Amino acid sequence: MMVKICGITRLEDAQAAVEGGAQAIGFVFWPASPRCIDVETARAIVAELPALVTSVGVFVNQPADEVNAVADRVGLGAVQLHGDETVDYAARIRRPVVKAFAIGGATRAEEADRWPGRVRLLLDVLDPARRGGTGRTVDWTRAAEVAARRPVLLAGGLTPENVVEAVDRVRPFGIDVSSGVESAPGVKDHRRLEALFDALAESAAERESLRSSAGSSARRDGAPPATPERESLRSSAGSSSARGGGAPRASKKR
């Protein structure tokens, strides 16, 4: 499962996230966010990331030309749209697109179908003012209805304490974590980062043990074992750059 740590403003926090196993790092470029980062600082951090870690820029209702220019300057691997952007707007973005899909109010799961498959949906709490990073938990039952229709990223109040239950209930393609591993907005708590990845690793080990037991039983019955699939934000748009959580750390960009 892919893990994205969002709201990064410091190099040491990005490095701690990657060391833990994050496959994507998020930078917020919306000026109204308490986690907003300037372009040059983000560019410097991205330059220090391993090549196979995807850098994602978060934008809210900003002009497409501005989004593309920031993406080019920083060297982003994907763009996350967290406002009221339309399908036509997303088509103007020159990077793979992640689109926030609000769970709340009268939103229905089938509304996700209007977004083309090349757009990865991120499920978050409905909050027209703060646009993410609220610490509020998504309704996992409703989120699971969307996840049953297409691969999604799950956000909204994920913490080391609830992430395993959230993943078990929603079954997302990946997760997006921000406030749940912070000591202050934009400042990551490295102990909570470690606790998050420890919880995920322990859960994955348990699932692997169950799969191995099931596989052994299947082989005794003559059925082949299932082969797990792995994706990344970039692979969903045609690039195969996934790095599994817990894999050896990739070398830095040169």
Q: What positions carry a catalytic annotation?
A: 6, 124
User: b/e for 125-147, b at 16 or more Cβ within 10 A?
Assistant: bbeeeebbbbeebbbbebbbbbb
Which tokens is 146 given? Answer: 């969307």
Contacts of 117 (CB under 8 A, 6+ apart): 150
Number of Cβ within 10 Å of residue 165's Cβ equals 12
Contacts of 153 (CB under 8 A, 6+ apart): 2, 4, 98, 120, 121, 122, 123, 172, 173, 174, 175, 176
CA-nearest of 189, 181, 122, 109 to 149 is: 109
Which tokens is 14 given? Answer: 């990005």
Which tokens is 196 given? Answer: 């998050």
- Sequence letter at residue 93: I
Number of Cβ within 10 Å of residue 64's Cβ equals 18
Question: Cα angle vertex 58, ends 52, 59, to 5°?
Answer: 145
